[in-house]
């Protein structure tokens, strides 16, 4: 059973994110450390992702106007490709609906396999640059 709960320890969540994203930071020469992740995420809506009571990841959201920005989904390597990402996005859709929002937006590294999950769920690529796809999903 998947649960999304308020993050209890933002520093640990930042460390988890840094460890999970390190290969992309190195690949794209992003000079970030754990403190940078913490500073960038501390004012967002932060959640822990639990599967059967076990911590498996992090979810971060922000809200602007009629849009929910899916700022981060991090699922640990041992728990990837098990459907958890799709379940988390389903929860994000419910949050957006409860808030009467019209879109969920995100950006994802082009080399991340996560963009395939987002496309399969219905996100479309609105634009791209040398690093990212910028994607959105209408909420209905």
Query: Domain coordinates of the chain in residue numbers?
Result: 2-138
Per-residue pLDDT, averaged over 85-109, amounts to 96
Cβ-based neighbours of 58, under 8 Å, separated by 6 or more? 7, 13, 16, 17, 46, 47, 48, 49, 72, 73, 74
Q: Which fold has domain 2-138?
A: Aminopeptidase (3.40.630)
pLDDT band at 25 (very low <50, low <70, confident <90, very high): confident
Check pLDDT > 90 for residue 5.
yes
DSSP state of 79: G
Which pTM was predicted? 0.91
**Torsion-angle region of 19 (φ positive above 0: left; ψ -120 to 50: alpha; else: beta):** alpha
Give me the pLDDT at residue 28, please: 76
CB atoms within 10 A of CB 117: 19
Per-residue pLDDT, averaged over 40-53, amounts to 96
For the chain, what percentages of helix, strand and coil (3-state, to nearest 5) are there? 35, 35, 25
pLDDT in tens, 67-95: 999 999 999 989 988 999 999 999 999 99
Check pLDDT > 90 for residue 24.
no
Both tokens of 80, joined, read 């990837």
Give me the pLDDT at residue 106, please: 97
Exposure class string for 58-96: b at 16+ Cβ within 10 A, else e: bbbbeeeeebbbbbbbbbbeebbeeebbebbbeebbebb
């Amino acid at each position: 059973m998947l649960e999304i709960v308020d993050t209890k320890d933002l520093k640990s969540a930042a460390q988890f994110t840094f460890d999970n994203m390190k290969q992309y930071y190195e690949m794209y020469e992003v000079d970030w450390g754990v403190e940078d992740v913490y500073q960038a995420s501390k004012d967002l809506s932060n959640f822990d992702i639990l599967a059967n009571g076990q911590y498996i990841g992090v979810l971060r959201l922000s809200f602007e106007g009629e849009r929910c920005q899916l700022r981060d989904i991090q699922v640990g390597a041992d728990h990837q490709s098990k459907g958890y990402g799709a379940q988390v996005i389903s929860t994000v859709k419910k949050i957006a609906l409860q808030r009467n929002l019209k879109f969920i937006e995100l950006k994802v590294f082009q080399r991340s396999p996560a963009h395939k999950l987002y496309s399969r769920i219905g996100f479309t690529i609105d634009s791209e640059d040398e690093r990212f796809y910028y994607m959105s999903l209408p909420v209905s």
